[in-house]
Homo-oligomer: A and B are copies of this chain.
Amino acid sequence: MDNRPIGFLDSGVGGLTVVRELLRQLPHEDVVYIGDSARAPYGPRPAEQIRDYTWQMVNFLLTKNVKMIVLACNTATAVVWEEVKAKLDIPVLGVILPGASAAIKSTTHQKIGVIGTPMTVSSGIYQEKIQHLAPDMEVTSLACPKFVPLVESNELTSSVSKKVVYETLKPLVGKVDTLVLGCTHYPLLKPIIQNVMGPSVKLIDSGAECVRDISVLLNYFELNKSRELAGQNHRFYTTANANSFAAIAEKWLERSVNVEHVNL
Contact = CB atoms under 8 A, between A and B. Distances in A.
Q: Within the oligomer, what is the number of copies of this chain? A: 2
Interface stretch (A14-22, A166-174, A214-222): A214-222
Contacts of A93: 220
A43 to B, nearest CB: 24
Contacts of A227: 133-136
Given A1-B132, A132-B1, A213 B224 contact: no
Given A1-B132, A132-B1, A219 B224 contact: no
Interface string A95-131: 0011001000000000000000000000000000000
A146 interface: no
A35 to B, nearest CB: 24
A39 interface: no
B132 A226 contact: yes
Interface of A: 1, 91, 93, 97-98, 101, 132-136, 212-213, 215-217, 219-220, 224, 226-228
